[in-house]
Amino acid sequence: MRGHTEITALTDFMSRNVRSKARIITDGWQGYNGLKDAGYQHNPVVASGEAAGEHLPIVHIMFSNLKAWLNGTHHGVSKKHLHRYLREWNYRFNRRNGPVAEFVLNRLANNRTVTYAALTG
């Protein structure tokens, strides 16, 4: 009965956060099938490989960036702490254009690199 619970949770989430009769484009996961019954214009797109990025480009860019960040920064993740990694990703993503990011990038661009000799000397 787990699938039914997930579908109910999805339609409940959608009804709280998305206007009725909105056009929803998703992948082909069958859990989205209840969206039409809930009053949304559901357009599932089933694509794989190179074609997948053409249909949902922002989603694929975001997941590509997320995977690169996880592998580059953390060199892999554990299922136990996955929610923490995702929370950190969300925090960084939402603040990428804010004043702190601007401050850090400005400092990096306008200051000389600190060498190891300067740090230890």
Reported as a single tens digit per residue, the pLDDT across 20-55 is 888 988 888 888 888 888 889 998 888 766 676 676
Reported as a single tens digit per residue, the pLDDT across 72-85 is 888 878 889 888 88
Tell me what percent of the residues of the chain surpass a pLDDT of 90.
2
Mean of per-residue pLDDT scores for the chain: 81
- 86 and 65 within one domain: yes
- 62 and 27 within one domain: no
Q: Which domain covers residue 66, as residue numbers?
A: 57-113
Number of domains in the chain: 2
- 65 and 40 within one domain: no
Question: CA-to-CA distance for 108 and 26, rounded, in angstroms?
Answer: 40
Tell me what percent of the residues of the chain surpass a pLDDT of 70.
91
**Stated pTM of the model:** 0.43
Q: Is residue 16 assigned to a domain?
A: yes
Question: CA-to-CA distance for 40 and 63, rounded, in angstroms?
Answer: 25
